[in-house]
C-alpha cells in the first residue's frame, strides 16, 4: 500500500512538472531529474514530452538512451539513436552511440569489428571536424591497432588504415591536435624511420596550419554555452550574447582560415550551422541564413531541405514561408510555391490580409490577370479582409494592367466599407492625384470629412490643405485652412488659440519638401513660441490656485517666469544668486562695526569684539574635502558663466581625495590632515592666491577662540532644529538659517548666500 501511494505521488509530481514544461528551463531540468530516478517504463512518457519541447537537447537524448541501455533494451536504443543523432551533433551523445555499437558487436567476431569500424567512420564523417573530436580520433586509432592481423598483408592493410586516420586527425583543429601529432610521429618511427622522415616533413606544414587555426577557433568556441537549451528568443542579454558568438564562429568558418579545398571548407561550415541550430533552433534568421548560404553555393536542393526543416521547427513563421515560396518560384517550381501560399491562406477564414495580397501578386505574376482578379473577389468575402487588400489590388490594376477604370471602381467599392479609415481615404486621394483628377479629389475630401470622426480627420485635413496648395488658388487654400482650424478646435481645450493665425501657418504654406522659408533656428523659435502660447494660460491658472506656492522670478533681462515648485523638492532661493567672481572675495578687507556683524552684506568677514572672524569657515566645517579640493581647482571666471569645456577639463584632471567617515563636527582639515582652503582658495584663481598655507594657519589660530564661542552660542540657541549639525547642502544651510531667524529669541540673525559664489549676506534685527 505504501508503494502504491508513493507511485501515485510521483505521478502527480511529474504531471505538475509537465504542466509548466513549455520552454521553462528550470521545469525541464526538474522533469529530467524526475525521469532519471524512475523506472524506464514510467520515465519514457516524461522523456518523450521533454524531447518534444526540446528536440535538439543532446543531453536529454543521451540520458534517455542510456536509460534504455542499462536495461539492455537494444531495439528501443537503436530507434532513439535514429531519431536524434543527425539532429544533435554532440560528441558525448555520439560516443554513447559508439559504446552501444561496440557492446552489441563484441561477440560477432570479424563481422562485429567491421560494423564497429563503419560506426566510427560514420561518426567521424559528421563530427570529425568538431574541436572536441580529438578523443574520438584517438579511440578509433586505438581500435584499428587492436584489430588482429593474421598475415603480413593484413598487417600492412591495418598500418595503412591507421596512417590514414592519423593523417586526417593531425590536420583537423582539435583540442588534442598536438598529442595526436606526437603519437603520429612515434607511430611512423615505429614502422620505418626512413619512411617517417619524409612523411613527417610532408605533414609538418599542414599540422602547423591546423594548430594555428585551432588557437583562433578556440577563442570563438569558448564563448559558446553548450548546456544552453533551445528556447524561443526572449531578448535576454545571455541569449543575445550566444547569438553573436555563433554568428562570429560561422563567419570565421566561412573565411576558410585553414585554406583547405572548398568541399572540406563547406563541410565545416555545414557542421557549424548544424551545431548552431541545436541551440538557436527557434531563430528564423539562422535558418534563413543557412538556406541562403546553400542556395548561393548552388545547392538549391539542400536549401529546400533546410527550409522544410525550418518550417517544421517554426510552423508559424510567415517570414520563412515567404522566403521558401520565393526560392521555389525562382527555380521554376510554381506548384510547390503555390502550395506554400495556400498554406498561408489555410482555410481562408483565418487568412491574414497580407497573405491575400501576396497570393494575388503571385497569381498575377505567374497565372495572369484573371487568376488574380478571381482571388480578389474571393478575398473580399473574407472576414479578415481589410482596406489593404483593396488598395493593393487597385494599384496593381493601375500600375501593372494599365487599367485606371478598374482601379477607380475598386477604390469606390472599398469606400462602402472603409469610409471611416483615414489611411484608405489618403491612398484613394493619391491615386486620383496620379490621374490629375482634381475635381474628384475635392469631392473625396468633402465626402470623407463629413463622415470621419474628428480624432481621425487631422491627417485628412492636412492632405486637403496640401492639395489646395498644389492645385487651388489662394482663396481656396485659406478657406480650407480656416475650416480645418474650426474643426480641430473642437477637439482640444485650447480651441480659441487654435483658431488664431500664426507665422507657423505661413511657414507651412510656403515650404516645399525640405525647403523652408526660414532658417532652422527661426523654425525652432516659432515652435517654442507656439508651445509657450498654448501653455501660458495653463501656467497662469496653476500659479493663481488658492494655497499654491508659485513664485515669481524677475531677471535682469526682464523675463518673467511662473512655476510651481514641488513640495518634495527643496528649491534654491534664486533671489540670492549672483555671478561667481573670485575678485569679490580676494578684494574684501575686514571692516569692524560696533555690532560685531559685517557692515557690507556681501562681505564674508565679520568682526566681533575687535577680532576678525571669517564666518565662511562655518560652512566649510560641513563641506567635504573632495568638494573643497575641486572648488580650489576651478579657474577664475571672466564672464557671466564659466566655459563648460574648461570646467569639464578640471573635472577630468582633478585627483579628488577619498575621505573616510568621521564624527560629526570634524572639519575637512581634520579629516585630510591638511589646512582648509580659504575663500581665496575656493575662488580657484589661476592668476594668484591671496593667502598661503602659513598665513592661513596663523589666521586660524587667532580665530580659534572666537569660533569656539560662536559654536557654543549656536549650540545653546535651541534644542530642536538648532541643535542639529549643519548639513552638507548649501541651500539646505540657508533654509535652516532662515528657520533659526524666524524662531530664535535672539535679536540678530544671519542668512548665508551661495558658498560657491562667495556671496554672504547678514541682517540684524
Out of 187, 206, 222, a domain closes at: 222
Give me the torsion for CA of 284, 294, 278, 87, rounded to 10°. 130
pLDDT at 733: 64
Nearest of 67, 81, 18, 79 to residue 39 by alpha carbon: 67
**Residue given cell 492639395 in the structure block:** 467
- Helix axes 369-379 and 387-399, enclosed angle (nearest 10): 160
CA distance 424 to 642: 56
Q: Note the pLDDT tens digit of each residue in 417-470.
A: 999 999 999 999 999 999 999 899 999 999 999 888 888 888 899 889 888 888
230 belongs to a structural domain: no
pLDDT at 738: 63
Predicted TM-score of the model (pTM): 0.67
Out of 182, 202, 222, a domain closes at: 222
pLDDT at 577: 65
Nearest of 407, 404, 305, 392 to residue 356 by alpha carbon: 392
CA distance 149 to 139: 19
600 belongs to a structural domain: no
CA distances from 518 to 195, 462, 506, 515, 524 (A): 87, 21, 10, 9, 10
According to DSSP, the residues that pair with 554 across neighbouring strands are 560
> In which domain, by residue range, is 464 found?
440-491+507-514
702 belongs to a structural domain: no
Out of 222, 247, 266, a domain closes at: 222
- Collapse the DSSP code of 442 into the 3-class scheme (helix H, G, I; strand E, B; otherwise coil) and give the result: helix
Cell triple for 2: 505504501
Run of H or E including 761: strand 761-764
CA distance 753 to 573: 9
177 belongs to a structural domain: yes
51 belongs to a structural domain: yes
- Structural domain total, the chain: 2
454 belongs to a structural domain: yes
Is-contact 123 92, C-beta < 8 A?
no
pLDDT at 523: 84
DSSP string, 327-385: HHHHTT-HHHHHHHHHHHHTTSSS--HHHHHHHHHHHHHHT-HHHHHHHHHHHTTSTT-
User: Which mean pLDDT values do the consecutive 10-residue runs of the chain (765 residues) have?
Assistant: 45 51 87 93 94 95 96 95 95 96 91 94 96 96 91 89 95 96 94 89 95 96 94 93 97 95 95 97 96 95 96 94 96 94 81 93 95 94 91 94 94 93 94 92 91 87 88 86 84 54 80 88 84 67 46 36 47 64 45 39 41 59 76 67 69 61 43 42 40 40 45 45 47 62 44 38 38
CA distance 27 to 9: 18
Cell triple for 329: 518560384
CA distance 585 to 117: 94
410 belongs to a structural domain: no
Query: What does the mean pLDDT of the chain come to?
Result: 78
CA distance 359 to 342: 8
- 606 phi and psi, to 5 degrees? -115, 155
- Collapse the DSSP code of 608 into the 3-class scheme (helix H, G, I; strand E, B; otherwise coil) and give the result: strand
pLDDT at 762: 38
pLDDT at 277: 97
760 belongs to a structural domain: no
Length of the chain: 765
Burial degree of 281 (CB within 10 A; 0-12, 13-18, 19+): buried
Amino acid at each position: 500500500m505504501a508503494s502504491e501511494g508513493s507511485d501515485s505521488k510521483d505521478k502527480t509530481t511529474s504531471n505538475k512538472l509537465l504542466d509548466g514544461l513549455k520552454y521553462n528551463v528550470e521545469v525541464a531540468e526538474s522533469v529530467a531529474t524526475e525521469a532519471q530516478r524512475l523506472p524506464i517504463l514510467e520515465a519514457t512518457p516524461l522523456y518523450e514530452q521533454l524531447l518534444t519541447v526540446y528536440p535538439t537537447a543532446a543531453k536529454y537524448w543521451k540520458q534517455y538512451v542510456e536509460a534504455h541501455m542499462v536495461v539492455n533494451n537494444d531495439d528501443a536504443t537503436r530507434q532513439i539513436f535514429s531519431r536524434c543523432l543527425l539532429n544533435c551533433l554532440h560528441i558525448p551523445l555520439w560516443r554513447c552511440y559508439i559504446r552501444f555499437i561496440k557492446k552489441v558487436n563484441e561477440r560477432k567476431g570479424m563481422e562485429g569489428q567491421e560494423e564497429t569500424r563503419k560506426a566510427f567512420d560514420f561518426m567521424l564523417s559528421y563530427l570529425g571536424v568538431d574541436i572536441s573530436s580529438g578523443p574520438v580520433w584517438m579511440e578509433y586509432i586505438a581500435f584499428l591497432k587492436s584489430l588482429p592481423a593474421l598475415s603480413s598483408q593484413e598487417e600492412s592493410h591495418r598500418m595503412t588504415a591507421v596512417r590514414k586516420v592519423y593523417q586526417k586527425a593531425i590536420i583537423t583543429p582539435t583540442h588534442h591536435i598536438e598529442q595526436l601529432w606526437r603519437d603520429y610521429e612515434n607511430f611512423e618511427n615505429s614502422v620505418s624511420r626512413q619512411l617517417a622522415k619524409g612523411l613527417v616533413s610532408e605533414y609538418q606544414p599542414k599540422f602547423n596550419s591546423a594548430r594555428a587555426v585551432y588557437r583562433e577557433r578556440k577563442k570563438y568556441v569558448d564563448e559558446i554555452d553548450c548546456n544552453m537549451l533551445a528556447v524561443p528568443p526572449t531578448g535576454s542579454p545571455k541569449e543575445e550574447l550566444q547569438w553573436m558568438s555563433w554568428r562570429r564562429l560561422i563567419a570565421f568558418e566561412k573565411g576558410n582560415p585553414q585554406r583547405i579545398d572548398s568541399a572540406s571548407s563547406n563541410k565545416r561550415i555545414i557542421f557549424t550551422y548544424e551545431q548552431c541550430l541545436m541551440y538557436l533552433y527557434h531563430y528564423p534568421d539562422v535558418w534563413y541564413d543557412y538556406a541562403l548560404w546553400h542556395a548561393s553555393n548552388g545547392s538549391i536542393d539542400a536549401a529546400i531541405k533546410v527550409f522544410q526543416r525550418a518550417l517544421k521547427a517554426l510552423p508559424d513563421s510567415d517570414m520563412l514561408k515567404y522566403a521558401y515560396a520565393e526560392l521555389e518560384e525562382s527555380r521554376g517550381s510554381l506548384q510547390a510555391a503555390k502550395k506554400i501560399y495556400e498554406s498561408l491562406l489555410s482555410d481562408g477564414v483565418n487568412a491574414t490580409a497580407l497573405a491575400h495580397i501576396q497570393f494575388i501578386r503571385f497569381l498575377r505574376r505567374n497565372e495572369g490577370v484573371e487568376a488574380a482578379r478571381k482571388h480578389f473577389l474571393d478575398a473580399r468575402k473574407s472576414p479578415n479582409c481589410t482596406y489593404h487588400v483593396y488598395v493593393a489590388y487597385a494599384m496593381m490594376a493601375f500600375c501593372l494592367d494599365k487599367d485606371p477604370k478598374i482601379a477607380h471602381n475598386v477604390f469606390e467599392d472599398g469606400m462602402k466599407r472603409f469610409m471611416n479609415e483615414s489611411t484608405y481615404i489618403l491612398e484613394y486621394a493619391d491615386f486620383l492625384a496620379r490621374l490629375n483628377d482634381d475635381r474628384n479629389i475635392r469631392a473625396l475630401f468633402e465626402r470623407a470629412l463629413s463622415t470621419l470622426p474628428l480624432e481621425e480627420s487631422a491627417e485628412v485635413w492636412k492632405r486637403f490643405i496640401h492639395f489646395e496648395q498644389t492645385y487651388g488658388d489662394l482663396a481656396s487654400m485659406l478657406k480650407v485652412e480656416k475650416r480645418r482650424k474650426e474643426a480641430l478646435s473642437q477637439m482640444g481645450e485650447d480651441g480659441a488659440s487654435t483658431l488664431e493665425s500664426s507665422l507657423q501657418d505661413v511657414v507651412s504654406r510656403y515650404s516645399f519638401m525640405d525647403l523652408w522659408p526660414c532658417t532652422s533656428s527661426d523654425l525652432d523659435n516659432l515652435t517654442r513660441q507656439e508651445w509657450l502660447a498654448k501653455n501660458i494660460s495653463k501656467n497662469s491658472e496653476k500659479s493663481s490656485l488658492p494655497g499654491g506656492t508659485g513664485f515669481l522670478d524677475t531677471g535682469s533681462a526682464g523675463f518673467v517666469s511662473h512655476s510651481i515648485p514641488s513640495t518634495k523638492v527643496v528649491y534654491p532661493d534664486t533671489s540670492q544668486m549672483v555671478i561667481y567672481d573670485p575678485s569679490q572675495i580676494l578684494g574684501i578687507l575686514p571692516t569692524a562695526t560696533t555690532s560685531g556683524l559685517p557692515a557690507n552684506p556681501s562681505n564674508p568677514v565679520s568682526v566681533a569684539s575687535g577680532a576678525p572672524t571669517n564666518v565662511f569657515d562655518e560652512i566649510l566645517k560641513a563641506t567635504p574635502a573632495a568638494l573643497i579640493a575641486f572648488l580650489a581647482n576651478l579657474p577664475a571666471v571672466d564672464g557671466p558663466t564659466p566655459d563648460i569645456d574648461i570646467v569639464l577639463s578640471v573635472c577630468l584632471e582633478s585627483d579628488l581625495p577619498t575621505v573616510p567617515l568621521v564624527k560629526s563636527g570634524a572639519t575637512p582639515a581634520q579629516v585630510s590632515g591638511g589646512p582648509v582652503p580659504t575663500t581665496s582658495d575656493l575662488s580657484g584663481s589661476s592668476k594668484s592666491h591671496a593667502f598661503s598655507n602659513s598665513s592661513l594657519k596663523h589666521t586660524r589660530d587667532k580665530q580659534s577662540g572666537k569660533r569656539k564661542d560662536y559654536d557654543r552660542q549656536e549650540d545653546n540657541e535651541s534644542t530642536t532644529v538648532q541643535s542639529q549639525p549643519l548639513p552638507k547642502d548649501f541651500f539646505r544651510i540657508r533654509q535652516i538659517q532662515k528657520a533659526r531667524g524666524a524662531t530664535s529669541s535672539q535679536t540678530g540673525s544671519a542668512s548665508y548666500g551661495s558658498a560657491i559664489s562667495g556671496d554672504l549676506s547678514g541682517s540684524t534685527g
